[in-house]
Structure 1
Amino acid sequence: MNRFPWSIGVACAAAAALLAWGVHALVPAIPLLTAAVALGIIVAQIPAARSAITGPLASGLSVASKRFMRLGIFLLGLKLSLIDIAHLGWLTILLVVVLVLVTFAATYWLGRLARLPHHEPLLIATGFSICGASAIGAMSGVVKARDSEAATPVALVTLCGTLAIGVLPLFWHPLGFTADQFGHWVGASVHDVGQVVATAQLAGSSALAIAVVIKLTRVLMLAPMVSIAALAVHRRDSRSIADADPAVHNLVTAKRPPIVPLFVAGFLLAVAIRSFVPLPELVLSIADVVQTALLAMALFGLGTGVRVRELISTGWRSLLVGLASWALIAVLAYGAVVLS
């Protein structure tokens, strides 16, 4: 008897991550994490594979999409230096924060207006405003969303982020941007870090550096947004339990979970270490490889929850919300570049 029933699913996710790396190596314009999500989506559409995904591979894919996602988010903090972010200047930082908050609120409102089910409005808002599929995975873990609930937001943010790689460069010169301004726009409007790199590198190394720092500033917003969501969910659940059974409510309150989820606290700790502790380049390089591998496996797991047929037949409202959010953040990011 297999003492680790999740091992087969994890091995499958690891193989998919390696395959995604191979795709990225052959076609550098395709970000590794985007390739991992896309592979998960493709595999999930194969009837023969679907039975395995929902059967013997299910527990392992769940471990990858939840636990590995949290470990990857923790290590993602080592990419962030508060010193680099401070060099952007207070106005740029303020505009990035406002951009995230406005996009998040507007997308969430659009999702509610479109009557998207369950946690979809929250997850789409998180993915489009902060850092793509990784943010969706982090938020879904906090609000205890099912993998099937995260599937549509992951598919949408992957679709729009991939389109951005080809679409945004077309507007570079018509908008009158310098190379650095284009990098700023890309960092403020594209969802996933890998997609930012693939898009901004066309404008040169200086534009790429600016884009990455702007993007990582948005990533930093993941911690407070997830913590606020965790607190809101806890209060909602407490009220529901209190209405149903006051005795159970008192027991749950006594075992209240932390306001800041453990992996978010670890993310902030990693940011602090990266900012104030001189780490050897070898350590940072190893952490970067491990973080990328963990997130690739996690995103493959999330991708396997996507059912394209169901998305086409019932997800048109979600698609409209995603496209509207994508257009909104591009316009707001343009304004932020002009004002900076």
Structure 2
Amino acid sequence: MSVIVLVEHTDGIIKKKSFEAVQYASGIAKKAGTTVTAVVLGTVADNEMESLGQYGAQKVLHVADARLDELHARAYTSALFAAAQKENSKIIIALHDINGRAVAPRLAVKLNAGLVAGALSYPDTDKGFVIKKAVFSGKAFAYLNITSDVKVITLMPNTFPLNKVDGKASIEKLDMSFVDKDFGIKVKEVNKITGEIPLGDAQLVVSGGRGMKGPENWGLIEDLAKELGAATACSRPVADAHWRPHHEHVGQTGGTVRPNLYIAVGISGAIQHLAGVNGSKTIVVINKDPEAPFFKAANYGVVGDALEVLPKLKEAVKKFRQNHK
């Protein structure tokens, strides 16, 4: 009756957000009086999988098929289905990201399960199995009660802080027999972003818009981000103008981020952009227009020219870090 969790990794290194998903599953399992089984697909070292015990997993089911190092939704679904059957699981957790959104609906159909996508809370079992999620691009919340016997949940990353404990998960091989259609989509090439903090994992994000006036000024964004140890992002007009690569675009038609701190520089704050960032814990807006809509969503605001404010902010951060070493 274990709670099953789909664990994601990059080049064999388990992602931080997967530790969060395991911890979330552990919270559910403790309340239900059961255990957590993590499902790891692809090439991952034993010591990396064992570390899942530090976040609440008692066991890891490992499908050691190198083809699973890249997302194949059918194959992932087949592996999770087999794991759920083996563990007689009634609750399956994945992340609300590209992988989870591709796999969870398929798995829910195979298991005849109810699905909540983008959970923001632990289930309230006093009233059934009620989970909170954002709706209408984050402008409201819905509380959904899963009434089916089997339940599938995708968790919004960076919803809960991580609490590491002593623990070591046992590892068990899960033998799978895949069919050709499980790998029907052929991956011809993978271009991975290197040398940067992935936006999906970032705790701090510095993002720029058209207020930066041109790509030649983007060094100011990068300098502040480097000083903070932050990832960089941008608004859609910036990506469309090819000032920045499209993988940095956040918003309704781009990526979604939920960092502890989001600094928006020269971004007006149109509703389409807010949809991708309004889950941030703290939002700081820098804009020379005091009527910019983003100020209404901000926790803190600076009215001023970004090209003048950013160098001063970078120096202030640098001075603060030096004084707190």
Task: Give TM-score, length-normalised by structure 2.
Answer: 0.26
From the two aligned structures, give the one with the greater helix fraction.
1
> Relative contact order (C-alpha < 8 Å, sep 6+): which is higher?
1
- Which one has a bigger Cα radius of gyration? 2
